[in-house]
Amino acid sequence: MRPSVKKRTSQLKDLISQVDKTEANSLLNLVEDLLDSDQPELMAETKNSYSSGSYRIQMPGNRYEEQKSLQALVSKPDLSQSIALFERLIAKELESVATQLGIENEELQAWIDLQIEVPAKTILNLLRTAKEMGLDPLREEVGFTQYEDGNWQVYITVDGAIKLLNRHTAFDGITFNQSENLIEGIPEWIECTIHRKDQSCPTTIREYYLEARSEQTIWQKMPRRMLRNRAIQQCVRLIISN
């Protein structure tokens, strides 16, 4: 048998030996690399066991279900360490944000505990954004939303955007403009322009009604205000960097 074949078989046995003994005991007596075996009956049982340079454990005797169970044990990642890490990071950021904003740790923790469906990484991202920007999630200055594809996104609310504007030393005014063309009685677009004392040209962002609107009740009741708020949020994202 070729040395490379023996090496692969040895590595496979080492891997199996790391699995729970009750699951893997019967597999430690694997024959050498069956693809290079001179035994036709074994070759027939393992003809689909090798694909794209990786092995799939195939046992003689029609034990495919046992093989699949072992594969799951070998390939299943240990998530406990990752979960524990996120919990430590969240606890650390929570304490830092609470101290910075002057709120009680327990109050912020209670708010986080209510976000049952939100992934831990999104919670961590929100806390870091709150700390970096000095925004209070309890006052709805920063929040998160879930898109149709299931992904979560942290965003600065219009209240948070206005807070960032008003406390920025270079902020020098804000103006709005809107389209004369109407869609369902709503301006086709609204522009937000923000001026900074340290910039020679203002920054203008245009938000379109057909792109920004949603099925939320607030959009049905106050579509113009919501479109204006969206324009503010997007303009602040560009112009307020520190």
* CA end-to-end span of the chain: 66
The total number of residues shown for the chain amounts to 242
φ/ψ (deg, to 5) at 124? -65, -40
Check: CB of residue 131 under 8 Å from CB of residue 93. yes
CA distance 161 to 234: 9
Q: Which residue has the tokens 């090496």?
A: 7
Per-residue pLDDT of the chain (242 residues; tens, 9 = 90+): 555 545 555 655 565 555 545 444 444 444 444 444 455 554 445 444 444 444 344 444 445 555 655 565 555 567 788 888 888 899 999 999 999 999 999 999 999 999 988 999 999 999 999 999 999 999 999 999 888 888 999 999 999 999 999 999 999 999 999 999 999 999 999 999 999 999 999 999 999 999 999 988 999 999 999 999 999 999 999 988 65
Q: What is the 3-state secondary structure (H, E, C) of 53-76?
A: CEECCCCCCCCHHHHHHHHHHHHC
For the chain, what is the total number of helices (H) and then of strands (E)?
11, 9
8 A C-beta contact, residue 212 and residue 141? no
Q: Which of 163, 89, 99 is nearest to 126 (CA)?
A: 89
Cα Rg of the chain, angstroms: 29
